[in-house]
Chain A
Amino acid sequence: MRLELKGLTKKFGSFTADDDIDLVVEPGQIHAVLGENGAGKSTLMNMLYGILQPTSGEILIDGEPVDFSDPGEAIAAGIGMVHQHFKLVGPFSVADNVQLGREHTRFAGVLSAGAARRAVRDVSEQYGLHLDPDAICEDLPVGVQQRVEIVKALSGPKTELLILDEPTAVLTPAEITELLQIMRNLAEGGTSILFISHKLKEVQAVADTITVIRRGKVVAELEPTASESEMASAMVGRAVSLQVDKSAAEPGEPRLEVTDLTVVTDAGVKALDGLELTVHAGEIVGLAGVEGNGQTELARSILGLLKPDAGHIAIDGEDVHGRNPARRIKAGLGYIPEDRGRDGLVAEFSVAENLVLNQYRDAPFASSGVVNASAVDRRAVDSIAEFDIRTQSPDESASSLSGGNQQKVIIAREFSRPRRFLVAAQPTRGVDVGATQFIHSRLVAERDTGTGILLISSELDEIYALADRIAVIYNGRIVGEVDPDTPREVIGRLMVGGRLDDETDTADDEADSGPEAAAVVNDAEVETETETDVETSTETDEDANGGDR
């Protein structure tokens, strides 16, 4: 299918989300649309998929103008879409999810399970997707769930164009590699792919053509040979440096000491299993790992939201056992939560209120139980200026801000009070390039003032950019502590349970079965040892192998 957009424009009232967009996707081509959050990418895709109708301009499929009033018409015309947030019915099987909305039936509307299964098998074999039609979707790893979405999109009556909206946002490095391969297979098979992303490396790796949009306008057409900084500059509209300037760390005394920390979830699974970690003053320790290996539990335990079942946490040399989060915060613990919307902000509160969310009872923001509104406002005005928070006023609700600016509110809140140690979990998730750069430089500046920082990130790029030391977490344990000049492959291997000195190429196999293996190990509750050897961690490796067997 050849897709052509001509002068496509979408206005919301007086605001133009997409302005005169021209774009051509040739058959079998992977066409990347690159742009920051809010650049108009999703609006564009929604018009293509019939969710929104263009204000002006036209969409041509194989030279014929089309006009979709709902997604059904887009699907009928051969367009399939994989949404950023999966739209799967968790308790349903893969086959049921794929046939959802166009069920295979025998006469009188009786569902035909066999036909549905066959359809899934056919499509997944054709493109090497490896799907079990009978698996229950909610039990599957995220990467596999995404494959279900892809099969679902491909199972349309004559899908020839696939739209992938930020497909790698939720994937592990291994899963990303796999997805990119799947995309190449699809393109070879003649499917056109429109790939929406703001991640430069992936776009570079897979795209045939790159269209960069900024503020609703096409600002550049690039070849995949373009350098990352070229792409980033086009996206942001000014020169950006992807490198974070930082000097060598000068570690001081320990600010965080975690010893033998164990957290058992309600389901009886050990989320943290004798974890040991030390972060010193003036250094950034990057905690690398596939999500769901205990990072969340570690962060919540440090803050005091989670009561560990065993082990100790000392902040600034003092055991914080039994202290509630308020006391820890007051004692200088900064906390940037991984889930901004859930844990970081009260969306309905104003920017000003959010900026004092964990200090609202302290002077000067309150005295004898009464909030001092003018002090809160003054803080807001200062923070908005210092942290370049783009908001109309301090009284604007936090929900009206873009993701990057919401994150700046949290950073401003944590950086505007005395702090000794900072937990920064996914500090730039869903944040555009410009804001990422800003946040990174603030974190380094913070380190240089002597704060100890634990950086928890699922983006290896971020870890490499910031960390002075990298600790890899797997299955609730630190399985290796390495220098930031360690090659990516080594860390990638540790992240899925491999070991440091592992030279064979079994790492790839383990990458495939990593999450499952982890689950099996957890279920079995292997308790073979209490002493964690952070350098080689042979025990963990054996655990993983045990799971494989």
Chain B
Amino acid sequence: MSTETETPAPEQPESAETTEPRPNFMRLFGRYLIEANSVMVTIYSLVMAFFIGAVLLIVSDEGVRSTWTYFFARPQDALSASWNLVYDSYLALFQGAILNLNTLEAFRAGDVEFGNLLRPLSETLLNATPLIFTGLAVGLAFRAGLFNIGAQGQMIFGMLGALVIGFTLNLPAAIHLPLAVIAGAVAGGIFGAVPGVLKATTGAHEVISSIMLNNIAALFLVWAIGSQFLHSETKSELVTKPVNETATLPTLLSSFNPSLRVNLALLLGVAAAVFVWWLLSKSTFGFRIRAVGFNEHASATAGMRIGATYTTTMAAAGALAGLAGAALSLGVGASGITTNTALEYGFDGITVALLGRAKPGGIVAAAILFGALKAGSLSAQPAVPVDISILLQAIIVLFIAAPALVKAILHLRAPRGGLVTLEAKGW
């Protein structure tokens, strides 16, 4: 008791503060920069990740490494070779993710049309779309104190749910598409509710059960694709039937250039983020989620039903992950899904939620960053090893998850409210 009660009484520090000379904006901003608050930790984490990535690029390139062997004889060789390698690699990532400078030149010369310029951005956003949903799926559960590892499995079921409605029904697009999207959400939601129900009724830890459910979903997907009901009638490899034209998500920018694949799901993702924000901060359900997430005992004492909250939150999280699946199976170019379609979007959602600090706005930003890294690394191959992008993601998250590390390395000041470290209960 003494430790908490002997802290300065609330009134005093405030009154003392007002007597201090009022610092101007630049001073405040300067102080903000050297403080380990969550924004600056995120920025520094990015910078440090790219720095470490650069070191690894240099170390892993044999040509550059050899110039370091005679560093003391001719240091400029090693330095310029290293600089060039790092510069070229990161430039390639940039060109693949945001803007291709060669295309820009060609556009200036009038050789290509404007739409081509947007291609890297379109790819970035296309890759970001499922991550927004899975990030929200993990982030929402996080706020209820649940660690939803199961976004991958929920997404797979969402993918299948949307697919089945997408190719079995023949309806006008105005009905068919929403129906298929909803089917994805429902399938993911039902699958997501399972760990919630297990936790509420038997106390089974959601991490363990959702990890296992991921395996079940992944293997179920392999079996389902091969089943007669889903398997493509025209192709022999493991791929399903494509969804009907009426159930595909319309593209947003294909009027500029047909190669721009980003589709309506992006807007749905942003809308979902806004909805989750509203849910958490404005609704009574969100009030309950946050209360239970912070302190289930006090919530139970206040009459909230803890088990029901776990179940509904997990169902909602599953529905969000299911939407990621719908975005994949109803997206353009999804000529049926394969065992590869899901990639690791569900697992990456955990990272995205961490990076976005379980806040909807942060999750959207983090998803776009990861989408950019993915799009960049895909187009920069083989000049830049694809591992570098994965590595960058890993290092960024490592630093974000350990703000004390960033604070110590850069000798930052402690922020006012203390370091922000995300944690789910049971870990």
A169 near B1 with CB under 8 A, answer yes
A358 near B3 with CB under 8 A, answer no
Chain B 274-292, CB-CB to A under 8 Å as 1, else 0, gives 0000000011111110110
Given that A329-B303, A371-B283 are contacting pairs, would A349 and B290 also be in contact in the complex, using a CB cutoff of 8 Å?
A: yes
Given that A12-B8, A360-B284, A402-B9 are contacting pairs, would A324 and B295 also be in contact in the complex, using a CB cutoff of 8 Å?
A: no
B2 near A42 with CB under 8 A, answer yes
Which of A41, A337, A344, A401 touches B2 (beta carbons < 8 Å)? A41
Docked Cα-Cα span, A346 to B282, in Å, equals 18
List B contacts of A344 (CB < 8 A): 298, 301
List B contacts of A392 (CB < 8 A): 10-11, 14
A369 near B283 with CB under 8 A, answer yes
Given that A42-B2, A326-B303, A370-B282 are contacting pairs, would A15 and B297 also be in contact in the complex, using a CB cutoff of 8 Å?
A: no
Secondary structure call for the B interface: helix
List A contacts of B387 (CB < 8 A): none
Docked Cα-Cα span, A43 to B243, in Å, equals 69
Which of A17, A303, A324 touches B301 (beta carbons < 8 Å)? A303
List B contacts of A168 (CB < 8 A): none
Number of interface residues of B (CB under 8 A): 38
Chain B 251-289, CB-CB to A under 8 Å as 1, else 0, gives 000000000000000000000000000000011111110
B295 near A342 with CB under 8 A, answer yes
Docked Cα-Cα span, A324 to B306, in Å, equals 12
Docked Cα-Cα span, A166 to B2, in Å, equals 9
- A403 on the interface (CB 8 Å rule)? yes
Given that A324-B305, A326-B305 are contacting pairs, would A17 and B8 also be in contact in the complex, using a CB cutoff of 8 Å?
A: yes
* A84 smallest CB distance to B (angstroms): 6
B6 near A41 with CB under 8 A, answer yes
* B302 smallest CB distance to A (angstroms): 4
Number of interface residues of A (CB under 8 A): 56
Docked Cα-Cα span, A349 to B289, in Å, equals 12
List A contacts of B291 (CB < 8 A): 346, 349, 353, 357
B1 near A403 with CB under 8 A, answer yes
Given that A38-B5, A84-B2, A403-B4 are contacting pairs, would A305 and B284 also be in contact in the complex, using a CB cutoff of 8 Å?
A: no
Chain A 38-52, CB-CB to B under 8 Å as 1, else 0, gives 101111000000000
Docked Cα-Cα span, A343 to B296, in Å, equals 8
**In the complex, which residues 347-377 of chain A have their Cβ closer than 8 Å to any Cβ of chain B?**
347-349, 353, 357-358, 360-361, 366, 369-371, 373
- B62 on the interface (CB 8 Å rule)? no
- A390 on the interface (CB 8 Å rule)? yes
A353 near B287 with CB under 8 A, answer yes
Which of A84, A343, A366, A391 touches B1 (beta carbons < 8 Å)? A84
- A225 on the interface (CB 8 Å rule)? no
A400 near B13 with CB under 8 A, answer no
Sample (9) of A-B pairs whose CB atoms are under 8 Å apart:
A12-B8, A165-B2, A346-B291, A346-B298, A349-B294, A353-B287, A366-B284, A371-B282, A402-B10
| Beyond A370-B283, A371-B284, 11 extra complex contacts between A and B, CB < 8 Å | A14-B13, A165-B2, A335-B301, A342-B295, A344-B301, A346-B294, A347-B294, A347-B295, A349-B294, A371-B282, A392-B10
